[in-house]
Chain A
Protein backbone atom coordinates (compact mmCIF):
# COMPACT_ATOMS: atom_id res chain seq x y z
CA UNK A 1 0.00 0.00 0.00
CA UNK A 2 1.33 3.41 -0.96
CA UNK A 3 1.64 5.67 2.06
CA UNK A 4 3.59 8.74 0.96
CA UNK A 5 2.82 10.76 -2.15
CA UNK A 6 5.27 13.35 -3.41
CA UNK A 7 4.31 16.55 -5.14
CA UNK A 8 5.15 17.71 -7.73
CA UNK A 9 5.96 14.65 -9.83
CA UNK A 10 8.59 16.63 -11.71
CA UNK A 11 10.37 19.92 -11.08
CA UNK A 12 12.78 21.85 -13.27
CA UNK A 13 14.78 24.81 -11.91
CA UNK A 14 17.88 26.85 -12.68
CA UNK A 15 21.11 26.27 -10.82
CA UNK A 16 21.24 28.47 -7.72
CA UNK A 17 17.48 28.45 -7.16
CA UNK A 18 15.77 26.67 -4.27
CA UNK A 19 13.79 23.47 -4.82
CA UNK A 20 10.84 22.46 -2.66
CA UNK A 21 9.24 19.04 -2.72
CA UNK A 22 6.24 17.96 -0.69
CA UNK A 23 5.12 14.65 0.71
CA UNK A 24 1.69 13.76 2.06
CA UNK A 25 0.80 10.57 3.88
CA UNK A 26 -2.33 8.95 5.23
CA UNK A 27 -1.76 7.27 8.59
CA UNK A 28 0.10 8.14 11.79
CA UNK A 29 3.83 7.66 11.58
CA UNK A 30 6.82 7.42 13.88
CA UNK A 31 9.32 8.84 11.44
CA UNK A 32 9.61 10.12 7.91
CA UNK A 33 12.72 9.80 5.77
CA UNK A 34 13.88 11.37 2.52
CA UNK A 35 16.04 9.55 -0.02
CA UNK A 36 17.69 10.55 -3.30
CA UNK A 37 18.17 8.35 -6.34
CA UNK A 38 20.43 9.22 -9.20
CA UNK A 39 19.34 7.81 -12.53
CA UNK A 40 19.50 4.01 -12.61
CA UNK A 41 21.19 3.71 -9.21
CA UNK A 42 20.26 2.75 -5.67
CA UNK A 43 18.72 5.11 -3.16
CA UNK A 44 20.77 7.20 -0.77
CA UNK A 45 19.42 8.31 2.59
CA UNK A 46 19.29 12.08 3.09
CA UNK A 47 17.54 12.82 6.34
CA UNK A 48 15.25 11.28 8.98
CA UNK A 49 12.77 13.30 10.98
CA UNK A 50 10.89 11.84 13.94
CA UNK A 51 7.21 12.46 14.60
CA UNK A 52 7.99 14.68 17.60
CA UNK A 53 10.28 16.93 15.52
CA UNK A 54 9.06 19.79 13.37
CA UNK A 55 12.15 20.78 11.43
CA UNK A 56 15.57 19.37 10.68
CA UNK A 57 18.57 20.66 8.74
CA UNK A 58 21.45 18.92 7.04
CA UNK A 59 23.78 21.10 4.97
CA UNK A 60 21.67 22.62 2.18
CA UNK A 61 18.68 20.45 3.09
CA UNK A 62 15.80 21.52 5.29
CA UNK A 63 12.97 19.15 6.14
CA UNK A 64 9.76 20.09 7.89
CA UNK A 65 7.10 17.80 9.29
CA UNK A 66 3.51 18.72 10.10
CA UNK A 67 1.85 15.71 11.69
CA UNK A 68 -1.50 17.51 12.00
CA UNK A 69 -1.60 17.90 8.21
CA UNK A 70 0.20 14.61 7.60
CA UNK A 71 2.71 16.31 5.36
CA UNK A 72 6.41 16.98 5.01
CA UNK A 73 8.51 19.17 2.77
CA UNK A 74 12.10 18.94 1.58
CA UNK A 75 13.83 22.19 0.67
CA UNK A 76 17.14 22.16 -1.20
CA UNK A 77 18.74 25.59 -1.13
CA UNK A 78 21.15 26.98 -3.74
CA UNK A 79 20.66 23.98 -6.01
CA UNK A 80 23.46 22.55 -8.13
CA UNK A 81 23.41 20.48 -11.30
CA UNK A 82 24.58 17.52 -9.17
CA UNK A 83 21.27 17.70 -7.26
CA UNK A 84 19.51 16.40 -10.38
CA UNK A 85 17.89 13.16 -9.19
CA UNK A 86 14.63 11.65 -8.01
CA UNK A 87 13.65 12.32 -4.40
CA UNK A 88 11.50 9.96 -2.36
CA UNK A 89 9.82 10.27 0.99
CA UNK A 90 9.36 7.14 3.07
CA UNK A 91 7.23 6.71 6.14
CA UNK A 92 7.76 4.34 9.07
CA UNK A 93 5.07 3.21 11.47
CA UNK A 94 7.23 1.94 14.31
CA UNK A 95 4.77 -0.51 15.77
CA UNK A 96 2.50 -3.30 14.74
CA UNK A 97 2.75 -5.58 11.75
CA UNK A 98 4.30 -2.96 9.50
CA UNK A 99 6.86 -1.75 11.97
CA UNK A 100 9.93 -2.98 10.10
CA UNK A 101 8.91 -1.42 6.87
CA UNK A 102 9.35 1.87 5.19
CA UNK A 103 6.67 2.73 2.67
CA UNK A 104 7.99 4.81 -0.22
CA UNK A 105 6.20 7.35 -2.38
CA UNK A 106 6.58 7.50 -6.16
CA UNK A 107 9.11 10.31 -6.06
CA UNK A 108 9.72 13.80 -7.41
CA UNK A 109 12.07 14.06 -10.38
CA UNK A 110 14.21 17.17 -9.96
CA UNK A 111 16.16 18.63 -12.88
CA UNK A 112 18.63 21.43 -12.14
CA UNK A 113 19.66 23.28 -15.28
CA UNK A 114 23.21 24.68 -15.29
Chain B
Protein backbone atom coordinates (compact mmCIF):
# COMPACT_ATOMS: atom_id res chain seq x y z
CA UNK B 1 0.00 0.00 0.00
CA UNK B 2 1.20 3.49 -0.87
CA UNK B 3 1.73 5.57 2.18
CA UNK B 4 1.99 9.33 2.25
CA UNK B 5 2.46 10.80 5.69
CA UNK B 6 2.35 14.39 6.86
CA UNK B 7 4.13 15.59 9.96
CA UNK B 8 1.11 16.99 11.79
CA UNK B 9 -2.67 16.63 11.56
CA UNK B 10 -3.29 19.93 13.35
CA UNK B 11 -0.97 22.89 13.78
CA UNK B 12 -1.48 26.28 15.40
CA UNK B 13 1.05 29.04 14.71
CA UNK B 14 1.28 32.77 15.28
CA UNK B 15 1.49 35.46 12.61
CA UNK B 16 5.09 35.98 11.47
CA UNK B 17 6.33 32.55 12.51
CA UNK B 18 8.24 30.35 10.09
CA UNK B 19 6.29 27.14 9.52
CA UNK B 20 7.53 23.83 8.12
CA UNK B 21 5.13 21.20 6.83
CA UNK B 22 6.75 17.87 6.06
CA UNK B 23 5.56 15.15 3.71
CA UNK B 24 7.09 11.71 3.27
CA UNK B 25 6.13 9.01 0.75
CA UNK B 26 7.32 5.43 0.65
CA UNK B 27 6.56 4.49 -2.97
CA UNK B 28 9.66 5.88 -4.68
CA UNK B 29 7.46 8.37 -6.55
CA UNK B 30 9.23 10.98 -8.65
CA UNK B 31 6.47 13.58 -8.39
CA UNK B 32 5.33 15.29 -5.22
CA UNK B 33 2.76 18.05 -4.77
CA UNK B 34 1.53 20.52 -2.19
CA UNK B 35 -2.07 21.77 -2.30
CA UNK B 36 -4.18 23.92 -0.07
CA UNK B 37 -7.90 23.34 0.29
CA UNK B 38 -10.34 26.04 1.31
CA UNK B 39 -14.16 25.93 1.47
CA UNK B 40 -15.68 27.03 -1.81
CA UNK B 41 -12.30 27.13 -3.58
CA UNK B 42 -11.47 23.44 -3.87
CA UNK B 43 -7.87 22.24 -4.14
CA UNK B 44 -5.29 24.66 -5.41
CA UNK B 45 -1.75 23.66 -6.32
CA UNK B 46 0.97 25.56 -4.47
CA UNK B 47 4.16 23.86 -5.68
CA UNK B 48 5.20 20.57 -7.16
CA UNK B 49 8.44 18.71 -7.71
CA UNK B 50 9.22 16.16 -10.41
CA UNK B 51 12.67 15.22 -9.14
CA UNK B 52 15.05 15.77 -6.25
CA UNK B 53 16.03 19.43 -5.95
CA UNK B 54 13.58 20.35 -8.73
CA UNK B 55 10.53 22.48 -8.06
CA UNK B 56 7.88 24.22 -10.08
CA UNK B 57 5.37 26.86 -9.06
CA UNK B 58 1.73 25.93 -9.08
CA UNK B 59 -1.23 28.27 -9.18
CA UNK B 60 -0.71 30.02 -5.82
CA UNK B 61 3.01 29.97 -4.82
CA UNK B 62 3.10 33.43 -3.22
CA UNK B 63 4.11 33.29 0.44
CA UNK B 64 5.39 29.72 0.19
CA UNK B 65 8.60 27.95 -0.66
CA UNK B 66 9.50 24.26 -0.89
CA UNK B 67 12.44 21.97 -0.43
CA UNK B 68 13.15 18.52 -1.82
CA UNK B 69 16.55 17.28 -0.74
CA UNK B 70 15.61 13.58 -0.83
CA UNK B 71 13.27 11.77 -3.18
CA UNK B 72 10.89 10.64 -0.46
CA UNK B 73 10.53 13.98 1.34
CA UNK B 74 8.93 17.24 0.22
CA UNK B 75 8.68 20.18 2.60
CA UNK B 76 6.44 23.21 2.40
CA UNK B 77 7.72 26.35 4.10
CA UNK B 78 5.75 29.39 5.12
CA UNK B 79 8.48 31.98 5.57
CA UNK B 80 6.32 34.35 7.62
CA UNK B 81 2.90 32.90 8.36
CA UNK B 82 -0.13 35.13 7.88
CA UNK B 83 -3.76 34.63 8.87
CA UNK B 84 -4.80 34.17 5.23
CA UNK B 85 -2.66 31.03 5.16
CA UNK B 86 -5.01 29.33 7.61
CA UNK B 87 -6.11 26.31 5.60
CA UNK B 88 -5.99 22.56 5.08
CA UNK B 89 -2.70 21.56 3.43
CA UNK B 90 -2.55 18.35 1.42
CA UNK B 91 0.53 16.60 0.13
CA UNK B 92 0.41 14.09 -2.73
CA UNK B 93 2.82 11.96 -4.73
CA UNK B 94 2.69 10.11 -8.05
CA UNK B 95 4.72 8.31 -10.67
CA UNK B 96 5.85 10.38 -13.66
CA UNK B 97 3.33 11.24 -16.31
CA UNK B 98 3.10 8.95 -19.29
CA UNK B 99 3.58 10.76 -22.56
CA UNK B 100 0.20 11.46 -24.15
CA UNK B 101 -1.60 9.62 -21.37
CA UNK B 102 -1.51 12.43 -18.88
CA UNK B 103 -0.64 12.63 -15.18
CA UNK B 104 -0.77 9.44 -13.18
CA UNK B 105 -2.87 8.77 -10.10
CA UNK B 106 -1.97 10.94 -7.12
CA UNK B 107 -1.77 9.49 -3.61
CA UNK B 108 -2.64 11.89 -0.84
CA UNK B 109 -1.58 12.25 2.75
CA UNK B 110 -4.15 12.80 5.52
CA UNK B 111 -3.73 16.58 5.48
CA UNK B 112 -2.51 19.19 7.96
CA UNK B 113 -5.05 21.68 9.25
CA UNK B 114 -3.04 24.84 9.91
CA UNK B 115 -4.42 27.72 11.92
CA UNK B 116 -2.48 30.99 11.98
CA UNK B 117 -3.49 33.32 14.80
Contacts and interface: CB of A to CB of B under 8 A. Distances in A.
A42 B4 contact: yes
Given A33-B105, A100-B56, A102-B103, A43 B45 contact: no
Contact of A44 (B33, B43, B108): B108
Contact of A94 (B101, B105, B107): B101
Contacts, number: 80
B62 interface: no
B113 interface: yes
A30 B99 CA distance: 9
B71 to A, nearest CB: 16
A45 B40 contact: no
Contacts of A102: 103, 106
A40 interface: yes
Q: Bin chain A's interface residue count.
A: 20 to 34
Contact of A29 (B42, B59, B99, B102): B102
A105 B106 CA distance: 15
B47 to A, nearest CB: 11
B102 A94 contact: yes
Contacts of B110: 41-42
A13 interface: no
A93 interface: yes
Interface string A81-93: 0000000101011
Given A1-B59, A100-B48, A100-B50, A92 B103 contact: yes
Contact of B90 (A43, A103, A106): A43
Given A42-B90, A101-B48, A88 B43 contact: yes
A95 interface: yes
A2 interface: yes
B43 A101 contact: no
Interface in A37-55: 40-45, 48, 50-51
A71 interface: no
Interface string A10-41: 00000000000000000001110101000011
Interface pairs A-B: 9 shortest CB-CB: A30-B102, A92-B102, A94-B102, A42-B108, A31-B102, A106-B42, A92-B103, A104-B43, A43-B108
